[in-house]
Structure 1
Protein backbone atom coordinates (compact mmCIF):
# COMPACT_ATOMS: atom_id res chain seq x y z
CA UNK A 1 0.00 0.00 0.00
CA UNK A 2 1.44 3.38 -1.00
CA UNK A 3 1.94 5.97 1.72
CA UNK A 4 -0.60 8.80 1.79
CA UNK A 5 0.96 12.10 0.63
CA UNK A 6 1.59 14.72 3.28
CA UNK A 7 -1.03 17.46 3.15
CA UNK A 8 -0.07 21.14 3.08
CA UNK A 9 -1.76 23.84 5.15
CA UNK A 10 -1.56 27.63 5.13
CA UNK A 11 -2.50 29.58 8.26
CA UNK A 12 -2.81 33.37 8.17
CA UNK A 13 -2.38 35.55 11.24
CA UNK A 14 -0.20 32.81 12.71
CA UNK A 15 2.34 34.82 14.69
CA UNK A 16 0.37 34.64 17.92
CA UNK A 17 -2.81 33.55 19.65
CA UNK A 18 -5.31 31.34 17.85
CA UNK A 19 -3.39 31.28 14.57
CA UNK A 20 -0.22 30.09 16.29
CA UNK A 21 -2.09 27.34 18.13
CA UNK A 22 -3.76 26.19 14.90
CA UNK A 23 -0.45 26.02 13.04
CA UNK A 24 1.14 23.91 15.78
CA UNK A 25 -1.88 21.59 16.00
CA UNK A 26 -1.98 20.97 12.25
CA UNK A 27 1.75 20.23 12.28
CA UNK A 28 1.19 17.72 15.11
CA UNK A 29 -1.59 16.21 12.98
CA UNK A 30 1.02 15.47 10.31
CA UNK A 31 0.58 18.40 7.92
CA UNK A 32 3.33 20.59 6.54
CA UNK A 33 2.41 24.15 7.52
CA UNK A 34 3.04 27.45 5.76
CA UNK A 35 2.47 30.39 8.09
CA UNK A 36 1.61 34.03 7.43
CA UNK A 37 1.42 37.34 9.20
CA UNK A 38 2.40 40.95 8.52
CA UNK A 39 6.06 41.87 8.06
CA UNK A 40 6.45 43.32 11.56
CA UNK A 41 5.75 39.81 12.95
CA UNK A 42 8.62 38.15 11.04
CA UNK A 43 10.60 37.23 14.16
CA UNK A 44 7.59 35.53 15.73
CA UNK A 45 6.84 33.69 12.48
CA UNK A 46 10.42 32.49 12.15
CA UNK A 47 10.41 31.14 15.70
CA UNK A 48 7.09 29.38 15.10
CA UNK A 49 8.33 27.87 11.84
CA UNK A 50 11.36 26.44 13.63
CA UNK A 51 9.08 25.04 16.33
CA UNK A 52 6.92 23.35 13.68
CA UNK A 53 9.95 21.78 12.00
CA UNK A 54 11.07 20.38 15.35
CA UNK A 55 7.77 18.53 15.86
CA UNK A 56 8.82 15.57 13.75
CA UNK A 57 11.40 14.30 11.31
CA UNK A 58 10.73 15.70 7.87
CA UNK A 59 8.05 18.15 9.04
CA UNK A 60 8.20 21.19 6.76
CA UNK A 61 7.23 24.81 7.34
CA UNK A 62 7.66 28.09 5.51
CA UNK A 63 7.18 31.76 6.38
CA UNK A 64 5.20 34.18 4.20
CA UNK A 65 4.73 37.83 5.17
CA UNK A 66 1.73 39.51 3.56
CA UNK A 67 -1.13 41.89 4.31
CA UNK A 68 -4.25 39.82 3.59
CA UNK A 69 -6.23 42.94 2.68
CA UNK A 70 -4.00 43.51 -0.38
CA UNK A 71 -4.84 41.26 -3.32
CA UNK A 72 -1.40 41.28 -4.95
CA UNK A 73 0.23 40.31 -1.65
CA UNK A 74 -2.28 37.48 -1.17
CA UNK A 75 -1.71 36.28 -4.75
CA UNK A 76 2.06 36.28 -4.23
CA UNK A 77 1.70 34.46 -0.91
CA UNK A 78 -0.29 31.62 -2.48
CA UNK A 79 2.16 31.36 -5.37
CA UNK A 80 5.05 31.09 -2.90
CA UNK A 81 3.29 28.43 -0.83
CA UNK A 82 2.57 26.29 -3.89
CA UNK A 83 6.09 26.76 -5.22
CA UNK A 84 7.61 25.80 -1.87
CA UNK A 85 5.38 22.88 -0.94
CA UNK A 86 3.95 21.71 -4.25
CA UNK A 87 0.29 22.39 -3.49
CA UNK A 88 -2.30 23.37 -0.90
CA UNK A 89 -4.86 21.20 0.90
CA UNK A 90 -5.96 23.21 3.94
CA UNK A 91 -6.39 27.00 4.14
CA UNK A 92 -7.06 28.70 7.48
CA UNK A 93 -8.08 32.35 7.01
CA UNK A 94 -7.43 33.34 10.61
CA UNK A 95 -5.95 36.86 10.27
CA UNK A 96 -8.04 39.63 11.77
CA UNK A 97 -8.13 42.69 14.00
CA UNK A 98 -10.57 44.19 16.50
CA UNK A 99 -11.46 47.85 16.94
CA UNK A 100 -13.08 48.63 20.27
CA UNK A 101 -15.51 51.42 19.43
CA UNK A 102 -19.22 51.99 19.77
CA UNK A 103 -21.35 51.99 16.63
CA UNK A 104 -21.89 55.75 16.86
CA UNK A 105 -18.24 56.40 17.64
CA UNK A 106 -16.75 54.36 14.78
CA UNK A 107 -15.27 56.45 11.94
CA UNK A 108 -15.52 55.57 8.26
CA UNK A 109 -11.75 55.09 8.20
CA UNK A 110 -11.93 52.61 11.08
CA UNK A 111 -14.86 50.81 9.45
CA UNK A 112 -13.03 50.50 6.14
CA UNK A 113 -9.82 49.26 7.78
CA UNK A 114 -11.41 46.48 9.80
CA UNK A 115 -13.57 45.34 6.88
CA UNK A 116 -10.51 45.35 4.60
CA UNK A 117 -8.62 42.97 6.89
CA UNK A 118 -11.36 40.80 8.37
CA UNK A 119 -13.84 40.55 5.49
CA UNK A 120 -11.92 41.34 2.29
CA UNK A 121 -8.93 39.40 3.62
CA UNK A 122 -11.08 36.34 4.22
CA UNK A 123 -12.70 36.69 0.79
CA UNK A 124 -9.31 36.89 -0.93
CA UNK A 125 -7.86 33.93 0.95
CA UNK A 126 -10.95 31.81 0.27
CA UNK A 127 -10.87 32.76 -3.40
CA UNK A 128 -7.19 32.07 -4.02
CA UNK A 129 -7.35 28.85 -2.02
CA UNK A 130 -10.39 27.76 -4.03
CA UNK A 131 -8.63 28.44 -7.33
CA UNK A 132 -5.62 26.38 -6.30
CA UNK A 133 -7.66 23.49 -4.92
CA UNK A 134 -9.88 23.34 -8.02
CA UNK A 135 -6.78 23.26 -10.21
CA UNK A 136 -5.30 20.41 -8.17
CA UNK A 137 -8.51 18.38 -8.38
CA UNK A 138 -8.11 16.62 -5.03
CA UNK A 139 -10.58 18.56 -2.90
CA UNK A 140 -9.59 20.55 0.16
CA UNK A 141 -10.54 22.32 3.36
CA UNK A 142 -11.07 26.08 3.68
CA UNK A 143 -11.73 27.41 7.18
CA UNK A 144 -12.28 31.00 8.34
CA UNK A 145 -12.48 32.97 11.56
CA UNK A 146 -15.89 34.27 12.56
CA UNK A 147 -16.86 35.01 16.19
CA UNK A 148 -19.62 34.74 18.75
CA UNK A 149 -20.24 38.33 17.59
CA UNK A 150 -20.88 36.94 14.12
CA UNK A 151 -23.90 35.17 15.63
CA UNK A 152 -25.08 37.86 18.07
CA UNK A 153 -23.80 41.37 17.37
CA UNK A 154 -25.04 43.04 20.56
CA UNK A 155 -21.88 44.53 22.04
CA UNK A 156 -21.61 48.27 22.55
CA UNK A 157 -17.86 48.42 21.90
CA UNK A 158 -17.40 46.02 18.97
CA UNK A 159 -19.91 47.16 16.35
CA UNK A 160 -17.66 47.11 13.28
CA UNK A 161 -15.97 43.91 14.42
CA UNK A 162 -19.37 42.21 14.68
CA UNK A 163 -20.20 43.36 11.16
CA UNK A 164 -17.04 41.76 9.77
CA UNK A 165 -17.73 38.48 11.52
CA UNK A 166 -21.29 38.33 10.19
CA UNK A 167 -19.71 38.93 6.78
CA UNK A 168 -17.40 35.95 7.27
CA UNK A 169 -20.45 33.75 7.91
CA UNK A 170 -22.01 34.87 4.63
CA UNK A 171 -18.79 34.48 2.65
CA UNK A 172 -18.34 31.00 4.14
CA UNK A 173 -21.83 29.89 3.08
CA UNK A 174 -21.48 31.35 -0.41
CA UNK A 175 -18.07 29.78 -1.00
CA UNK A 176 -19.26 26.43 0.33
CA UNK A 177 -22.15 26.42 -2.12
CA UNK A 178 -19.87 27.12 -5.05
CA UNK A 179 -16.96 24.86 -4.15
CA UNK A 180 -18.82 21.79 -2.90
CA UNK A 181 -18.90 20.11 -6.30
CA UNK A 182 -15.09 20.17 -6.24
CA UNK A 183 -15.03 18.28 -2.91
CA UNK A 184 -13.86 21.42 -1.14
CA UNK A 185 -15.53 22.12 2.20
CA UNK A 186 -15.75 25.66 3.58
CA UNK A 187 -16.49 26.28 7.26
CA UNK A 188 -15.75 28.82 9.98
CA UNK A 189 -15.19 28.78 13.73
CA UNK A 190 -17.02 31.25 15.98
CA UNK A 191 -15.11 31.61 19.26
CA UNK A 192 -16.20 33.30 22.41
CA UNK A 193 -13.58 35.12 24.46
CA UNK A 194 -10.24 33.34 24.08
CA UNK A 195 -7.19 34.08 26.20
CA UNK A 196 -5.09 35.99 23.63
CA UNK A 197 -3.48 39.39 23.23
CA UNK A 198 -6.67 40.54 21.51
CA UNK A 199 -8.65 39.65 24.63
CA UNK A 200 -6.13 41.55 26.72
CA UNK A 201 -6.63 44.57 24.48
CA UNK A 202 -10.39 44.38 24.99
CA UNK A 203 -9.85 44.27 28.74
CA UNK A 204 -7.64 47.36 28.56
CA UNK A 205 -10.25 49.18 26.50
CA UNK A 206 -12.91 48.34 29.09
CA UNK A 207 -10.67 49.88 31.73
CA UNK A 208 -10.23 53.03 29.65
CA UNK A 209 -13.77 53.40 28.33
CA UNK A 210 -15.81 52.18 31.30
CA UNK A 211 -13.50 52.49 34.31
CA UNK A 212 -13.47 48.72 34.80
CA UNK A 213 -10.69 47.10 36.81
CA UNK A 214 -8.05 44.83 35.19
CA UNK A 215 -9.59 41.43 34.50
CA UNK A 216 -13.19 42.64 34.80
CA UNK A 217 -13.92 42.21 31.10
CA UNK A 218 -12.79 38.57 31.04
CA UNK A 219 -14.79 37.89 34.20
CA UNK A 220 -17.86 39.62 32.75
CA UNK A 221 -17.73 37.24 29.76
CA UNK A 222 -16.95 34.10 31.76
CA UNK A 223 -19.84 34.83 34.13
CA UNK A 224 -22.12 34.56 31.08
CA UNK A 225 -20.70 31.22 30.02
CA UNK A 226 -22.63 28.05 30.85
CA UNK A 227 -19.29 26.47 31.78
CA UNK A 228 -18.11 29.48 33.77
CA UNK A 229 -14.77 30.06 32.07
CA UNK A 230 -13.25 31.47 28.90
CA UNK A 231 -11.31 29.53 26.25
CA UNK A 232 -7.71 28.95 25.26
CA UNK A 233 -6.25 29.09 21.72
CA UNK A 234 -5.75 25.33 21.82
CA UNK A 235 -9.52 24.88 22.16
CA UNK A 236 -10.04 26.52 18.77
CA UNK A 237 -7.13 24.59 17.30
CA UNK A 238 -8.84 21.33 18.29
CA UNK A 239 -11.99 22.26 16.39
CA UNK A 240 -9.97 23.33 13.34
CA UNK A 241 -8.05 20.05 13.49
CA UNK A 242 -11.33 18.17 13.11
CA UNK A 243 -12.71 20.42 10.37
CA UNK A 244 -9.46 19.94 8.43
CA UNK A 245 -9.59 16.16 8.78
CA UNK A 246 -10.94 13.53 6.40
CA UNK A 247 -13.64 12.72 8.94
CA UNK A 248 -15.22 16.17 8.45
CA UNK A 249 -15.95 15.61 4.74
CA UNK A 250 -19.72 15.96 5.27
CA UNK A 251 -19.57 19.30 7.09
CA UNK A 252 -19.64 22.43 4.94
CA UNK A 253 -21.16 25.91 4.96
CA UNK A 254 -21.19 25.96 8.76
CA UNK A 255 -20.03 28.56 11.28
CA UNK A 256 -19.52 26.56 14.45
CA UNK A 257 -19.89 28.10 17.91
CA UNK A 258 -17.13 27.34 20.40
CA UNK A 259 -17.74 29.66 23.33
CA UNK A 260 -18.54 27.70 26.48
CA UNK A 261 -22.24 28.36 26.01
CA UNK A 262 -21.94 32.15 26.15
CA UNK A 263 -24.20 32.09 23.10
CA UNK A 264 -25.94 28.98 21.80
CA UNK A 265 -26.99 28.49 18.17
Structure 2
Protein backbone atom coordinates (compact mmCIF):
# COMPACT_ATOMS: atom_id res chain seq x y z
CA UNK A 1 0.00 0.00 0.00
CA UNK A 2 1.28 3.40 -0.95
CA UNK A 3 1.75 5.91 1.83
CA UNK A 4 0.94 9.60 1.31
CA UNK A 5 4.07 11.48 0.33
CA UNK A 6 5.38 14.27 2.53
CA UNK A 7 6.99 17.53 1.32
CA UNK A 8 10.73 17.92 1.11
CA UNK A 9 12.24 19.01 4.39
CA UNK A 10 13.76 22.14 2.84
CA UNK A 11 10.57 23.54 1.28
CA UNK A 12 9.38 26.95 2.56
CA UNK A 13 6.28 25.44 4.15
CA UNK A 14 8.06 22.51 5.79
CA UNK A 15 8.31 24.17 9.22
CA UNK A 16 4.58 24.94 9.27
CA UNK A 17 3.66 21.43 8.14
CA UNK A 18 5.94 19.91 10.77
CA UNK A 19 4.47 22.09 13.51
CA UNK A 20 0.85 21.37 12.51
CA UNK A 21 1.36 17.60 12.25
CA UNK A 22 3.32 17.51 15.52
CA UNK A 23 0.66 19.46 17.42
CA UNK A 24 -2.20 17.28 16.12
CA UNK A 25 -0.36 14.04 16.89
CA UNK A 26 0.49 15.32 20.37
CA UNK A 27 -3.15 16.18 20.99
CA UNK A 28 -4.24 12.73 19.85
CA UNK A 29 -1.64 10.96 21.99
CA UNK A 30 -2.46 13.13 25.02
CA UNK A 31 -6.24 12.84 24.54
CA UNK A 32 -6.63 16.60 24.56
CA UNK A 33 -8.20 19.13 22.24
CA UNK A 34 -7.16 22.66 21.40
CA UNK A 35 -7.76 25.71 19.30
CA UNK A 36 -7.77 26.10 15.54
CA UNK A 37 -4.31 25.86 14.03
CA UNK A 38 -5.33 28.27 11.26
CA UNK A 39 -5.32 30.94 13.96
CA UNK A 40 -1.72 30.10 14.87
CA UNK A 41 -0.67 29.65 11.22
CA UNK A 42 -2.71 32.08 9.05
CA UNK A 43 -1.14 30.70 5.87
CA UNK A 44 -2.65 27.26 6.49
CA UNK A 45 -4.97 26.94 3.50
CA UNK A 46 -6.65 23.85 2.04
CA UNK A 47 -3.60 22.83 0.01
CA UNK A 48 -1.31 23.07 3.04
CA UNK A 49 -3.97 21.29 5.10
CA UNK A 50 -3.75 18.27 2.81
CA UNK A 51 0.04 18.40 2.85
CA UNK A 52 -0.03 18.52 6.66
CA UNK A 53 -2.38 15.53 6.60
CA UNK A 54 0.17 13.67 4.48
CA UNK A 55 2.92 14.43 7.02
CA UNK A 56 0.70 13.33 9.90
CA UNK A 57 -0.26 10.03 8.27
CA UNK A 58 3.29 9.33 7.10
CA UNK A 59 4.43 9.63 10.72
CA UNK A 60 1.74 7.18 11.81
CA UNK A 61 2.98 4.71 9.20
CA UNK A 62 6.59 5.25 10.25
CA UNK A 63 5.50 4.39 13.81
CA UNK A 64 4.17 1.04 12.61
CA UNK A 65 0.59 1.68 11.60
CA UNK A 66 -0.62 0.24 8.30
CA UNK A 67 -2.78 1.98 5.73
CA UNK A 68 -6.04 0.06 5.17
CA UNK A 69 -8.23 2.52 3.34
CA UNK A 70 -9.68 5.97 3.01
CA UNK A 71 -12.62 7.95 4.28
CA UNK A 72 -14.75 10.69 2.80
CA UNK A 73 -15.99 13.67 4.76
CA UNK A 74 -18.46 16.46 4.08
CA UNK A 75 -20.37 14.32 1.58
CA UNK A 76 -23.52 16.36 2.20
CA UNK A 77 -23.91 18.90 -0.60
CA UNK A 78 -25.46 21.38 1.86
CA UNK A 79 -22.40 21.11 4.14
CA UNK A 80 -20.11 21.52 1.15
CA UNK A 81 -21.85 24.75 0.15
CA UNK A 82 -21.45 26.08 3.70
CA UNK A 83 -17.73 25.22 3.65
CA UNK A 84 -17.19 26.57 0.12
CA UNK A 85 -16.12 23.32 -1.57
CA UNK A 86 -17.60 21.19 -4.35
CA UNK A 87 -16.22 17.74 -3.50
CA UNK A 88 -15.90 15.61 -0.34
CA UNK A 89 -12.85 15.73 1.87
CA UNK A 90 -10.54 12.74 1.73
CA UNK A 91 -8.55 11.26 4.59
CA UNK A 92 -6.86 8.00 5.54
CA UNK A 93 -7.66 4.92 7.63
CA UNK A 94 -5.05 2.81 9.41
CA UNK A 95 -5.23 -0.59 11.06
CA UNK A 96 -5.17 0.86 14.58
CA UNK A 97 -8.53 2.53 13.91
CA UNK A 98 -10.35 -0.76 13.24
CA UNK A 99 -12.92 -1.99 15.76
CA UNK A 100 -13.79 -5.62 15.11
CA UNK A 101 -17.49 -6.61 15.24
CA UNK A 102 -18.62 -6.55 18.86
CA UNK A 103 -15.52 -4.72 20.12
CA UNK A 104 -16.20 -1.64 22.27
CA UNK A 105 -14.82 1.81 21.71
CA UNK A 106 -12.44 2.46 24.60
CA UNK A 107 -13.35 6.01 25.53
CA UNK A 108 -10.19 6.51 27.58
CA UNK A 109 -8.27 6.42 24.30
CA UNK A 110 -10.36 9.23 22.79
CA UNK A 111 -11.28 12.86 23.46
CA UNK A 112 -14.96 13.46 22.63
CA UNK A 113 -16.01 10.67 20.26
CA UNK A 114 -19.08 10.82 18.07
CA UNK A 115 -20.59 8.05 15.93
CA UNK A 116 -22.16 8.23 12.47
CA UNK A 117 -23.56 5.55 10.13
CA UNK A 118 -21.64 4.75 6.94
CA UNK A 119 -22.14 2.77 3.76
CA UNK A 120 -18.79 1.04 3.34
CA UNK A 121 -17.12 0.02 0.09
CA UNK A 122 -14.45 -2.67 -0.23
CA UNK A 123 -12.41 -1.89 -3.33
CA UNK A 124 -11.93 -4.66 -5.87
CA UNK A 125 -9.45 -2.74 -8.00
CA UNK A 126 -7.39 0.43 -7.96
CA UNK A 127 -9.25 3.64 -8.72
CA UNK A 128 -7.77 7.04 -9.56
CA UNK A 129 -8.83 10.16 -11.41
CA UNK A 130 -9.14 12.17 -13.43
CA UNK A 131 -12.36 11.44 -15.26
CA UNK A 132 -13.84 8.86 -12.90
CA UNK A 133 -17.64 8.67 -13.20
CA UNK A 134 -20.00 7.21 -10.60
CA UNK A 135 -20.48 4.19 -12.88
CA UNK A 136 -16.74 3.63 -13.19
CA UNK A 137 -16.29 4.12 -9.46
CA UNK A 138 -18.95 1.56 -8.56
CA UNK A 139 -17.47 -0.92 -11.04
CA UNK A 140 -14.25 -0.80 -9.01
CA UNK A 141 -16.13 -1.77 -5.82
CA UNK A 142 -16.07 -5.47 -4.93
CA UNK A 143 -18.36 -5.51 -1.90
CA UNK A 144 -20.58 -3.22 0.18
CA UNK A 145 -21.15 -3.43 3.95
CA UNK A 146 -22.82 -1.69 6.85
CA UNK A 147 -20.48 0.40 8.96
CA UNK A 148 -20.00 3.23 11.39
CA UNK A 149 -17.28 5.74 12.03
CA UNK A 150 -16.20 7.11 15.39
CA UNK A 151 -14.95 10.62 14.72
CA UNK A 152 -12.88 12.43 17.34
CA UNK A 153 -11.75 15.93 16.47
CA UNK A 154 -8.56 17.20 18.01
CA UNK A 155 -10.18 20.67 18.10
CA UNK A 156 -12.18 22.03 21.02
CA UNK A 157 -15.95 21.46 20.62
CA UNK A 158 -15.41 20.21 17.05
CA UNK A 159 -14.88 23.83 15.98
CA UNK A 160 -12.52 24.15 13.01
CA UNK A 161 -12.06 25.61 9.57
CA UNK A 162 -11.76 23.47 6.45
CA UNK A 163 -7.92 23.44 6.43
CA UNK A 164 -7.94 22.60 10.15
CA UNK A 165 -10.10 19.50 9.77
CA UNK A 166 -8.24 18.33 6.67
CA UNK A 167 -4.91 18.57 8.50
CA UNK A 168 -6.49 16.57 11.34
CA UNK A 169 -7.13 13.68 8.93
CA UNK A 170 -10.83 14.60 8.89
CA UNK A 171 -11.28 13.68 12.58
CA UNK A 172 -10.53 9.99 11.89
CA UNK A 173 -10.36 7.88 15.04
CA UNK A 174 -12.11 4.47 14.92
CA UNK A 175 -14.44 2.60 12.59
CA UNK A 176 -16.31 -0.67 12.35
CA UNK A 177 -17.46 -2.72 9.36
CA UNK A 178 -19.98 -5.54 9.37
CA UNK A 179 -18.77 -9.01 8.37
CA UNK A 180 -21.78 -9.33 6.04
CA UNK A 181 -20.71 -8.30 2.53
CA UNK A 182 -23.00 -7.58 -0.41
CA UNK A 183 -22.55 -7.36 -4.18
CA UNK A 184 -23.09 -3.71 -5.21
CA UNK A 185 -25.09 -4.94 -8.22
CA UNK A 186 -27.73 -6.26 -5.84
CA UNK A 187 -28.24 -2.96 -4.03
CA UNK A 188 -30.01 0.34 -4.53
CA UNK A 189 -27.41 2.44 -2.75
CA UNK A 190 -29.32 5.69 -3.20
CA UNK A 191 -32.44 4.29 -1.51
CA UNK A 192 -30.62 2.22 1.15
CA UNK A 193 -31.97 3.47 4.46
CA UNK A 194 -30.16 3.57 7.79
CA UNK A 195 -31.77 4.15 11.18
CA UNK A 196 -29.48 5.48 13.91
CA UNK A 197 -30.34 4.52 17.48
CA UNK A 198 -28.88 5.33 20.90
CA UNK A 199 -29.63 2.62 23.47
CA UNK A 200 -32.44 1.42 21.22
CA UNK A 201 -34.07 4.83 20.78
CA UNK A 202 -34.22 6.20 17.24
CA UNK A 203 -32.45 9.53 16.93
CA UNK A 204 -32.07 9.92 13.15
CA UNK A 205 -32.49 8.20 9.81
CA UNK A 206 -31.32 8.79 6.25
CA UNK A 207 -30.81 7.07 2.92
CA UNK A 208 -27.77 6.78 0.69
CA UNK A 209 -29.00 9.85 -1.15
CA UNK A 210 -27.63 11.89 1.78
CA UNK A 211 -24.14 10.93 0.62
CA UNK A 212 -23.50 13.26 -2.31
CA UNK A 213 -26.84 12.18 -3.79
CA UNK A 214 -25.32 8.76 -4.44
CA UNK A 215 -22.46 7.03 -2.56
CA UNK A 216 -20.94 6.06 -5.93
CA UNK A 217 -20.83 9.74 -6.90
CA UNK A 218 -19.00 10.52 -3.64
CA UNK A 219 -16.49 7.79 -4.42
CA UNK A 220 -15.94 9.17 -7.93
CA UNK A 221 -15.37 12.70 -6.65
CA UNK A 222 -12.90 11.41 -4.08
CA UNK A 223 -11.00 9.38 -6.68
CA UNK A 224 -10.77 12.42 -8.93
CA UNK A 225 -9.58 14.64 -6.08
CA UNK A 226 -6.96 12.08 -5.08
CA UNK A 227 -5.87 11.78 -8.70
CA UNK A 228 -5.19 15.53 -8.84
CA UNK A 229 -2.85 15.03 -5.88
CA UNK A 230 -1.07 12.04 -7.41
CA UNK A 231 -2.83 9.48 -5.18
CA UNK A 232 -5.31 6.65 -5.68
CA UNK A 233 -7.63 4.22 -3.94
CA UNK A 234 -6.16 0.73 -3.91
CA UNK A 235 -7.66 -2.72 -4.37
CA UNK A 236 -8.51 -4.30 -1.02
CA UNK A 237 -8.95 -0.98 0.72
CA UNK A 238 -11.95 -0.06 2.82
CA UNK A 239 -13.65 3.23 1.92
CA UNK A 240 -16.03 4.95 4.33
CA UNK A 241 -18.31 6.90 2.02
CA UNK A 242 -19.39 9.57 4.50
CA UNK A 243 -21.77 10.05 7.39
CA UNK A 244 -25.40 9.51 6.41
CA UNK A 245 -26.72 11.44 9.42
CA UNK A 246 -25.33 13.85 11.95
CA UNK A 247 -22.96 12.17 14.39
CA UNK A 248 -24.05 11.46 17.98
CA UNK A 249 -21.80 11.54 21.03
CA UNK A 250 -20.78 8.19 22.52
CA UNK A 251 -20.79 8.00 26.33
CA UNK A 252 -19.64 5.26 28.74
CA UNK A 253 -21.96 2.27 28.73
CA UNK A 254 -23.98 3.67 25.86
CA UNK A 255 -24.65 1.72 22.66
CA UNK A 256 -25.05 3.38 19.28
CA UNK A 257 -26.54 1.09 16.65
CA UNK A 258 -27.38 1.36 12.97
CA UNK A 259 -30.05 -0.71 11.28
CA UNK A 260 -29.81 -0.73 7.50
CA UNK A 261 -32.66 -1.78 5.24
CA UNK A 262 -30.57 -4.32 3.33
CA UNK A 263 -27.04 -4.28 4.72
CA UNK A 264 -28.02 -5.45 8.20
CA UNK A 265 -27.16 -4.00 11.60
CA UNK A 266 -24.02 -2.89 13.38
CA UNK A 267 -23.40 -1.36 16.80
CA UNK A 268 -20.70 0.03 19.06
CA UNK A 269 -20.68 0.48 22.83
CA UNK A 270 -18.63 3.00 24.77
CA UNK A 271 -16.40 1.38 27.37
The question of a shared fold, defined as TM-score above 0.5 by the shorter chain, is answered with: no
More strand by share: 2
More helix by share: 1
